[in-house]
Amino acid sequence: MFDRPASGTRAVVVQVDFSQGGIDERLAEVTLLTESAGATVVATVQGRRQAPDPAFYVGKGKADEIGVVVQLNEADIVIFNHDITAAQQRNLERRLNCRVIDRSALILDIFALRAKSHEGKLQVELAQLQHLSTRLVRGWTHLERQKGGIGLRGPGEKQLETDRRLLGERVKLLKGRLAQLERQRAVRRRARERREVLTVSLVGYTNAGKSTLFNALTKAGAYAADQLFATLDTTSRRLFLGEAGNIVISDTVGFIRDLPHSLVAAFHATLEETISADLLLHVVDSSSDDREGQIAAVNGVLDEIGAGQLPQIQVWNKIDVTLASAEVQRDACGKISRVLLSARTGEGLDLLRQVLTDVALEHKAALASAQQKPDSD
């Protein structure tokens, strides 16, 4: 039996170039992810391959190079900015004598750290257990352990002898509890629909400034910080827009490229708020060099959860960094496509409020027109 090496906080990050582009941005992102999980990146190892090596993902030679870097920097964890198989993880840990985790495990770990609400904690635990079920080896910690370093937060892991049956039972229990919470959320949503209130969801790449914009619009005081996944739990507030009356606006979890599918599935109840919205405000960090890639990643997740066809207006945030002017931009058909603003300074917020007012008035007019139409029967 193989006992896994202990985890720690001195990390070596591994990034392999499969000709997918944007390597510098990916390295910067995984560094932020690592720091968000409470570790320090002491070294990075890069390489190029046509395809992953079946045994070590990077090949024996590169694995040995990683081992040297680990020893020279006294690192105690290696983080692959890729998804690796259970067999690759086991082989690497044996060869490096060091804890190895992949991108999905790192993101799950941050979610475990950030989850505050009962529902958020249930969703994270479900995602972690589903991820864990594919890689059960001796040396994982017990399910009830809540601490122990990166890759060990949340439910942790359990010894091989009894875990598969217990893990299956726990997953079933969590799914049942989340289904109950989803039914309660659906009741509240139907009540809103009966009141014919426009519903707006803020979506966007993690750390784009959604919560800062949400607070600036609603004065809600939702947690906002310059870190990845500061928001996990959906927060909804009424926003009064003068002649248009009230609308409901929701702040949702941030997306990221290569978001683990287990997380998307587990957070389905939370993401229901996005699917059921009348309008999406897609918040973009306009100061990011990788903004087009981030926009594509968000739209990819929206497609995955069934929200890809919803009306969407992009909100290009952080013009206080780019020094651009606040403005409303329209497409070739005259429809509003983009609002440039700064949620931090408030510049351009009046433009966004006016856009939301116009949309809310159109929504009311469309509902009134539909109700006045005579029954075709």
Report which of residues 145 and 110 the model is more confident about.
110
Taking only the tens place, the pLDDT of each residue in 149-208 is 566 555 544 455 556 777 778 888 888 888 887 787 777 666 655 557 899 999 999 889
Fold that domain 10-112 belongs to in CATH: Rossmann fold (3.40.50)
The average pLDDT across 9-24 equals 89
Alpha-carbon span 232 to 105, nearest angstrom: 17
Strands of the sheet with 40-48, listed across from one edge:
40-48, 10-17, 77-80, 99-101
Taking only the tens place, the pLDDT of each residue in 208-267 is 999 899 999 998 665 565 556 655 567 888 999 999 999 999 888 788 887 776 677 666
Confidence at residue 124, expressed as pLDDT on a 0 to 100 scale: 81
Note whether 10-112 and 196-371 share their fold: yes
Alpha-carbon span 168 to 178, nearest angstrom: 15
Report which of residues 306 and 1 the model is more confident about.
306
Residue 144: pLDDT band (50, 70, 90) is very low
pLDDT at 16 over 90: yes
Residue 231 and residue 254 in contact, taking contact as beta carbons nearer than 8 Å: yes
Ranges 13-27, 135-149, 283-297: which has the least confidence: 135-149
CATH 1.10.3720.10 fits 196-371, yes or no: no
Q: How far is CA 118 from the centre of its chain?
A: 18
Residue 147: pLDDT band (50, 70, 90) is very low
Confidence at residue 19, expressed as pLDDT on a 0 to 100 scale: 84
Confidence at residue 184, expressed as pLDDT on a 0 to 100 scale: 77
Alpha-carbon span 103 to 84, nearest angstrom: 8
Only one residue has tokens 């809600």, namely 220
Q: Structural domain boundaries of the chain?
A: 10-112, 196-371
User: Shortest CA distance to 285 belongs to which of 205, 228, 203, 347?
Assistant: 205
Alpha-carbon span 53 to 136, nearest angstrom: 21
Residue 97: pLDDT band (50, 70, 90) is very high
List Cα–Cα distances, 332 to 1, 210, 335, 340, in angstroms: 64, 27, 7, 18
For the chain, how many residues are written?
377
Alpha-carbon span 279 to 337, nearest angstrom: 12
Confidence at residue 143, expressed as pLDDT on a 0 to 100 scale: 43
Instruction: Annotate the chain with three-state secondary structure.
Output: CCCCCCCCCEEEEEEEECCCCCHHHHHHHHHHHHHHCCCEEEEEEEEECCCCECCCECCHHHHHHHHHHHHHCCCCEEEECCCCCHHHHHHHHHHHCCEEECHHHHHHHHHHHHCCCHHHHHHHHHHHHHHHCCCCCCCCCCCCCCCCCCCCCCCCCCCHHHHHHHHHHHHHHHHHHHHHHHHHHHHHHHHHHHCCCCEEEEEEECCCCHHHHHHHHHCCCCCCCCCCCCCCCCEEEEEECHHHCEEEEEECCCECCCCCHHHHHHCHHHHHHHHCCCEEEEEEECCCCCHHHHHHHHHHHHHHCCCCCCCEEEEEECHHHHCCCCEEEECCCCCEEEEECCCCCCCCHHHHHHHHHHHHHHHHHHHHHHHHCCCCC
Query: 313 - beta bridge partners?
Result: 281
Burial status of residue 291 (CB atoms within 10 A of its CB: 0-12, 13-18, 19 or more): middle
